[in-house]
Amino acid sequence: MAGIGCNMDEFIQAFGSAKLLGPSQMLVALLLSFILCSVIATVYRWTYQGFSYSRSFVHTIILGGIITTVLIMAIGNNLARGLGILGTLALIRFRTPIRDPRDIIFLFASLAIGIASGAAVITVAVTGTLFFCGVALYLHYSPFASRREYEGLLRFMLPPQADDEDEVKRVMHECCESYQLVAMREAAQGDLLEYSYHVRLIDPSYQSNLVDGLHAIPSVSDANLLMHRSTVEL
């Protein structure tokens, strides 16, 4: 009987009335979520490097954290409420595409902070926010994982039977750490061949040396070098 009574108490605790926070506790949790999610949104705005910046997404980071805080406070320690809210949210379909995985991580971070704030785990919420923002700023300003700083696409034209191919390769070998032919097509109604090379320069200062060296070859025409920018790595 004691075991049955213990099980009943656990059942009532899980499915009975939830433990509610006081008004001051709820206000502190909401303000904490708002402040910390605003910090995350600010770091996202500072470190954003794409072209399609969305002001509404920054608002979503803040509002998503606040909504999560409200949900966690509403659930409390009640399992039945948690299952009910989970079932309700399962009916909602969010069809807005998020193409950048980094945006998803920032949104997920705001939801995590909302959970910590709603559960009144203030130390976890504050420490997690500071550490996440610090790592995001470090990755933004450091060259970590960057590989295309000296890479570019080299294009030039040569006659089909030109004898200067060895000279062209000599110039490329002097200025490039590596180079690879990616495309070759006819141009000027078959009178010329357009070559496209993916090159990695030894140093950024070799950009002008490479182009000038190719222009110095009599049979080479329309030599140009398009360097990759950091935005292509987003």
- Give 82-133 pLDDT, tens digit per residue: 676 666 566 566 667 777 889 999 999 999 999 999 888 999 999 999 999 9
- State the pLDDT at residue 232: 47
User: Which pairing describes strands 151-158 and 221-227: parallel, antiparallel, or unpaired?
Assistant: antiparallel
Instruction: Please report the pLDDT score of residue 35 as a whole number.
Output: 96
Q: Which two tokens stand for residue 115?
A: 């959970």
Euclidean distance between CA atoms 87 and 103, whole angstroms: 26
pLDDT digits over 197-225, tens only? 998 888 777 888 888 888 888 888 888 88
Model confidence band, residue 147 (pLDDT cutoffs 50, 70, 90): low
Give the pLDDT confidence score for residue 93 in this predicted structure. 66
Instruction: Give the position of tokens 């997404």.
Output: 57
pTM above 0.85, yes or no: no
Q: Residues near 106 by Cβ (< 8 Å), separated by ≥ 6?
A: 40, 41, 44, 61, 136
* Fold type of domain 151-233: Alpha-Beta Plaits (3.30.70)
Higher pLDDT, 13 or 27: 27
Read off the pLDDT of each residue in 51-71 and give the average, rounded to a whole number: 90
Cα separation of 179 and 146, whole Å?
19
Locate 13 and state its tokens.
């605790």
List, by residue range, all CATH 3.30.70.60 domains of the chain: 151-233
Q: Estimate to the nearest angstrom the gap between the alpha carbon of 211 and the chain centroid.
A: 34
- Per-residue burial over 20-49, b if 16 or more Cβ lie within 10 Å, else e, is eeeeeebeebbebbbbbbbbbbebbeeebe
| Cα–Cα distance, 188 to 91 (Å, whole number) | 60
**What is the arithmetic mean of pLDDT over 66-95?**
74
19 band by pLDDT with thresholds 50, 70 and 90: low
User: 183 or 133: which carries more pLDDT confidence?
Assistant: 133
Asked whether the predicted pLDDT for residue 55 surpasses 50, the reply is yes
Enclosing H/E stretch for 210: helix 206-215
Closest CA to 207 of 219, 230, 232, 224: 224
